[in-house]
Amino acid sequence: MSLASDHAVEATSTSAESAEIAGRSLTQIAWRRLRRDKVAMTSLLVVLVIVSIAALAPVITRLVGVDPSSFNDKAVSDAGGLPLGRLGGVSLAHPLGVEPGTGRDLFARLLYGSRISLLIALSATLITVTLGVSVGIVAGYSRGWLDSALGRLMDVILAFPLILILLALSNVLTQRLETTFHLGELVARVLYLILVLSLFGWPYLARIVRGQVLSLREREFVESAVSMGAGTPRILFREILPNLWAPILVYATLLLPTYIAAEAALSYLGVGLVPPTPSWGAMLADSVRYFAVDPAFLFIPGTYLFVVVLAFNLLGDAVRDALDPRAGRA
């Protein structure tokens, strides 16, 4: 074996080529890919607009001069309470028309509905991710009996007939929440939705995280940390957790629209939010009754819900593509 004497040769020869991507972490590379993706940037923009609209709902409605709860019997016909005017009563005073029967402004109700909907979806996503990641890391790293016990718990939760339980127990449990914590009905219902969604959502993420941890813990950098004398907290939070951000982010961005749709579906079924709370699901439930005579009442909230869920989903897909090294689109 001939031994080359200059061990710095190789180090310098490749430094020119790597100078181009100086100091870029995988996150920065992913962000660069994301920025070049037109669908991703469009959906990100739409998502930002949706979130700002929801956050600024009181300001916007005041500027437009509408509010979600005042009745307006001048905007609906005396007989049958159908909106007066075309497209469900679209006018300068009511940009998206009015609700049949009550004459409440649809634009304002849609905006306030998005506030509650996003609040529920965001909180439930946050709790789901926190629970799922914690349990998944512990299960994956501990192996042994703790892993088995947590695995059984997840199996049990996933095997639960979720919808049935929600339907059956929603009224009893919201009332229980109201009385135990002295909450208003609306707060109790919102809380109930958040808790139920996250309680049944976390095991899926926990399984994904557990699987990732099982493979990460076998990587040599973990062993290297042990060989330096690192303790378990450092290994879990400094070595393993940073490698989980990609799957967590992808899961969270795809979970959010699922929860938005789930809240609407539950409210539609009467399990979630109930009138007079402005809620997309409750609105859709109402609109079905009026579909033959006032189709705009179905299409307007329906379209908005569709756009919101689609934008979040497209963004989630794009984030996954950008973070997945095999995407090969960059």
Partner 1 sequence: MTAVDESNTSVVARRADALLRVEQVQKYFPITGGGLLKRKVGDVKAVESISFDVVPGETLGVVGESGCGKSTAGRTVMKLLDPTGGKIEFEGRDITHLSRKEMVPLRREMQMIFQDPYSSLNPRHTVGSIISAPFKVQGVKPTRGVQAEVQDLMARVGLNPEHYNRYPNEFSGGQRQRIGIARAIALRPKLIVCDEPVSALDVSIQAQVVNLLEDLQDEFRLAYIFIAHDLSVVRHISDRIAVMYLGRIMELAESERIYKAPLHPYTHALTSAVPLPDPRAERSRERILLHGDLPSPINPPSGCVFRTRCPKAQDRCAQEIPVLRELAPGHYGACHFPEERHLI
**Residue 286 tokens, joined:** 């109402």
**Considering the rule CB under 8 A, would residue 78 count as an interface residue with partner 1?**
no
End-to-end CA gap in the chain: 41
Whether 56 contacts 114, CB under 8 Å? no
Q: What string marks each residue from 102 to 141 as x (binds partner 1 by CB under 8 A) or -? A: ----------------------------------------
Whichever of 18 and 180 has its CB closer to partner 1, that residue is 18
Whichever of 193 and 235 has its CB closer to partner 1, that residue is 235
**Considering the rule CB under 8 A, would residue 1 count as an interface residue with partner 1?**
yes
Positive or negative torsion for Cα 277, 280, 285, 287: positive
**DSSP code string of 81-143:** TPBSSSTTT--SSSTT-B-TTT--BHHHHHHHHHHHHHHHHHHHHHHHHHHHHHHHHHHHHH-
**Considering the rule CB under 8 A, would residue 303 count as an interface residue with partner 1?**
no
**φ and ψ at residue 184, rounded to 5 degrees:** -70, 165
In angstroms, rounded to a whole number, what is the distance separating the alpha carbons of residues 180 and 121? 24
Closest among 181, 251, 169 to 209, alpha carbons compared: 251
**DSSP code string of 220-276:** HHHHHHHHHT--HHHIIIIIIGGGTHHHHHHHHHHHHHHHHHHHHHHHHTTSS--TT
**Considering the rule CB under 8 A, would residue 35 count as an interface residue with partner 1?**
no
Whichever of 58 and 151 has its CB closer to partner 1, that residue is 151
Q: What string marks each residue from 146 to 185 as x (binds partner 1 by CB under 8 A) or -? A: --x-------------------------------------
- Site size toward partner 1 (CB under 8 A) is 38
Q: What string marks each residue from 224 to 263 as x (binds partner 1 by CB under 8 A) or -? A: xxxxxxx---x----x--xx-x------------------
In angstroms, rounded to a whole number, what is the distance separating the alpha carbons of residues 138 and 142? 6
Whether 89 contacts 99, CB under 8 Å? no
> Which stretch in 8-16, 65-73, 162-170, 190-198 sits in contact with partner 1 by CB under 8 A?
8-16
> Which stretch in 14-22, 65-73, 162-170, 275-283 sits in contact with partner 1 by CB under 8 A?
14-22
Whether 294 contacts 30, CB under 8 Å? no
- Min dist. Cβ of residue 219 to partner 1 (A): 4
**Considering the rule CB under 8 A, would residue 32 count as an interface residue with partner 1?**
no
> Which stretch in 18-26, 32-40, 100-108, 111-119 sits in contact with partner 1 by CB under 8 A?
18-26
**Considering the rule CB under 8 A, would residue 4 count as an interface residue with partner 1?**
yes
**Residue 221 tokens, joined:** 């950098």
Find the binder of partner 1 among 8, 59, 63, 172 (CB under 8 A).
Answer: 8
Question: What number of other Cβ atoms are within 10 A of residue 274's Cβ?
Answer: 16
Whichever of 62 and 152 has its CB closer to partner 1, that residue is 152
Q: What string marks each residue from 196 to 225 as x (binds partner 1 by CB under 8 A) or -? A: -----------------------xxx-xxx
**Binding region for partner 1 (CB under 8 A):** 1-12, 14-15, 18, 21-26, 148, 219-221, 223-230, 234, 239, 242-243, 245
